[in-house]
Structures are given as C-alpha cells and as structure tokens.
Structure 1
Amino acid sequence: MFEQYLVNPKGFRNVRKDDQVTGYEVQLRIPYYRGLPMSCVEVIDLTVDGETVANEDMAITVKGETFSFAELPTAINHRWEMIETITVFVKKPGGLTEGEHKVHAFVSLRISYLPFNNVGDDEKVLVLET
C-alpha cells in the first residue's frame, strides 16, 4: 500500500564536493504505516538505470546523521518516520548525466510483532535536479 511512495520524486540530484561530482542522492520514504528505528531496516536495494548499487557505496542519512549500510543495525535511536524521507547517497565519481533516470528501490523492514518482513518495491523515472 505505501510502497508506491517509496521512491520520492524530489531530492534526486548529483552531489558536489570541492568542484567535483562525487555521487548522487535519492530520497526514500518508509513503506510502512508507522515509523521504525533504522536498526529495523534489513535491506535497501537500489538500482539506477539498470545498474545495481552496492551497499558499500551507500551512505544513509536520517535526521541529519549519516550511517553506512553496515552500521544500520546499530542505529537504534534513529527513527525513520512515516512522513519523513531518508537520503541515500551513492558514491559514484562523476555522478549521473542530466535528464531522466529509472530508479528502482526495494526495502525490507523487520517488524517486531509480525512473523514476516514488510517490504516495499517501487520504480519511478526521475529527472535529475540541477
């Protein structure tokens, strides 16, 4: 139900540092009706234009704090709320070309009172912000 909102159409942009494009950012919304600690995020799979992003190349920012994907199990005090986005920075020297890109995201969340994970799967064509 909420998976259709997983890929946020806003905030898709290249990231510059010292006049160099170091990668790009994608905004994601939680595919669940409640907020959860980031430690409950078990999977974030991201594919852009058919290219799968390695978890090692991601940095996830929630409420101003940034974590590697491997650090998420320790982020017990950082919640991903229903109405908020998280920022996934993807390390890619040179970033993405201007124009449209197909962004596919899959997220799996561990819910303490459910015997199965809640998943979200969404794909959108986004235009890179300049």
Structure 2
Amino acid sequence: MRLLEQNLIQLRGFRNVKTAEKTIGFQVPIRLKYYRGIWVSQLRAATVFVNEDKFEGDQIFWTINGQHIEQTDLGNCTDIHWSSMESATLTIRKEGGLVPDVYDVKVAYDLSASYLPPAIDTGYFDTKGERRMVLVK
C-alpha cells in the first residue's frame, strides 16, 4: 500500500500503455474520495478529459485490485471491492497514446450508495477532479 494524494487524480502512474508492438493508450490513476470503500457494482462510468479531448464509454476500462473491468461491466461486478486506501487505474484506449507534454486532465465518475434515495444518489459524492499533469515518456 502506498500513500495516496488528496487529489482525486494521482500523479504517480500517469503514463502511456504499450504492447510489444505499439502504444495503445494511456493511464490515469485515481482514488476513491468516499471513506468507506465501495463495491465495483456501485460505480458508474467515468469520463476523462485531456485538454479538449473527451474519452468515455468503451474507450475506458478500470483496473481495481489487479482486475480489469470494462465500463459496461461495472454493474455486474459484485465481488470486487475498491478500498478507499487503494488507487484505481483508468486506462484510456487511444492509439499512439499521448506525446510527452503538459496536460490538463479532468476525471468524473459517479457512484451509488444503498442508503441514499435514487433522487439524490447520482452526483452526491465528490467524484470529480482536475489536475495539470506531465507525461514524460
């Protein structure tokens, strides 16, 4: 376990993702800003903005506790728990990744809580963040 930064978007781990042949995207590490931890089935899809580019839906998958989860499968993952003491990684599919530069990164996702009525459930938690980040390679 490593110490998490207070910001939703974590600096350590912002990088391109490469296979043996090519760069297939980039990663943005995030933290849960809800003190109790949640089951993955409580998560709602994330949206990531990098400068003016918007990424959402099947362009993003989550990695929590070493398990890769497509956004369309979040509601079906009832056996994976995300602790507030661990980071998660959003992997954004973008052929070629990002060139080394400074980026304005924004992340937003929602989560549900069983004790809140549906009318106020979405958007109740502080699950939005933005940060200027540097990709070095």
TM-score by length of 1: 0.91
CA distance in 2, matches of 1:105, 1:129: 20
Partner of 1:96: 98
Q: Aligned residues, how many?
A: 127
Judging changes above 3 Å, is the alpha-carbon distance between structure 1 residues 58 and 45 closer, same or farther for their aligned structure 2 residues? Answer: same
Q: Give the one of 29, 32, 48 matched to 2:31.
A: 29
Superposition deviation, residue 54 in structure 1: 2.2
Q: Give the one of 75, 78, 81 matched to 2:77.
A: 75
More strand by share: 1
Give CA deviations for 1:84-108 in whole Å, capped at 9, x if unaligned.
1111111101000102111101121
Amino acid in structure 1 at the alignment position of 2:133: L
CA distance in 2, matches of 1:17, 1:110: 34
Q: Give the one of 15, 18, 38 matched to 2:17.
A: 15
Partner of 2:3: none
Q: What pairs with 1:1-130 in structure 2 (closer than 5 Å)? A: 5-115=7-117, 116-117=120-121, 118-130=125-137
CA RMSD in angstroms comes to 1.3
Moved more, 115-124 or 56-65: 115-124
The answer to whether the 8 A contact 2:39-2:82 is kept is: yes
The answer to whether the 8 A contact 1:60-1:68 is kept is: yes
Superposition deviation, residue 119 in structure 1: 3.7
Give CA deviations for 1:18-58 in whole Å, capped at 9, x if unaligned.
13111000101012111000110123121111211021111
Q: Which runs of 5+ in 2 are unaligned?
A: 1-5
The answer to whether the 8 A contact 1:38-1:79 is kept is: yes
Q: Which runs of 5+ in 1 are unaligned?
A: none
